[in-house]
Amino acid sequence: MSREALELRLKAFRLPSFLTHYVSLAEKAGQGGWGHVHYLDELAGIEAEERGERRIARLLGESKLPREKTLATLEMSRFPSAVRHHITRLSEGEFLAGATNVCIFGNPGTGKTHVMAAIGHELVRHGQTVFFTPVSALVERLLEAKRALRLTRELKRLDRIECLALDDIGYVQQERAEMEVLFLLLAQRYERKSVLITSNLVFSQWDQIFKDPMTTAAAIDRVVHHSVIIELNVPSYRAKAAKKRTQVKRSPPNAP
Mean pLDDT of 155-171: 93
| Rounded average pLDDT over 80-105 | 96
Long-range CB pairs of 35-38, under 8 A, 24+ apart, other chains included:
none
The per-residue pLDDT for 256 is: 47
C-alpha angle 146/150/156, rounded to 5°? 110
Q: Is the pLDDT of residue 197 over 70?
A: yes
pLDDT above 90: residue 15: yes
Contacts of 207 (CB under 8 A, 6+ apart): 213, 216
Tell me which residue of 133, 225, 139 sits closest to 180, measured CA to CA: 139
Q: Residue 61: is its pLDDT beyond 90?
A: yes
Residue (of 227, 163, 232) closest to 199 by Cα position: 232
Mean predicted confidence (pLDDT) in 132-146 = 95
The phi and psi torsions of 253 (rounded to 5 degrees) equal: -65, 150
Q: Which residue from 160, 183, 157 is spatially nearest to 172, judged by alpha carbons? A: 183
* Torsion angle (degrees, nearest 10) of CA 183, 198, 158, 211: 10
Least confident range from 6-15, 150-159, 197-206, 234-243: namely 234-243
For residue 185, the cross-strand partners are none
Mark 3-18 as b/e (b = at least 16 C-beta within 10 Å).
Answer: eeeeeeebeeeebebb
Say whether pLDDT at 174 is over 80: no
Distances (CA, A) of 179 to 113, 185, 209: 22, 10, 7
Domain 64-235 CATH superfamily: P-loop containing nucleotide triphosphate hydrolases (3.40.50.300)
What stretches of the chain show up as alpha helix (H) in DSSP?
3-12, 16-32, 36-63, 81-90, 112-125, 135-147, 151-159, 176-189, 207-210, 213-224, 237-250
Please tell me the predicted confidence (pLDDT) of residue 253.
60
- If you average pLDDT over residues 94-106, what whole number do you get? 96
* Mean pLDDT, rounded, of the chain: 90
Q: What is the mean pLDDT of residues 11-37?
A: 94
Give residue 2's identity as a one-letter amino acid code.
S
Q: pLDDT grade, residue 239 (50/70/90)?
A: low
Distance CA 143, CA 153 (A): 13
* pLDDT at 222 (0 to 100): 94
The CA distance from 233 to 55, in Å, is 37
| High-pLDDT (> 70) share of the chain, % | 91
Measure the CA–CA gap between 53 and 130, rounded to whole angstroms. 16
pLDDT value, residue 209: 85
Q: What is the pTM of this model?
A: 0.83
95, 47 Cβ separation under 8 angstroms: no
Stretch(es) of the chain classified as CATH 3.40.50.300: 64-235
Banded model confidence at residue 173, pLDDT cuts 50, 70, 90: low
Choice among 1-5, 114-118, 158-162, 217-221 with the minimum mean pLDDT: 1-5
Mean pLDDT of 183-207: 94
Reply yes or no on whether the pLDDT at 92 is more than 90: yes
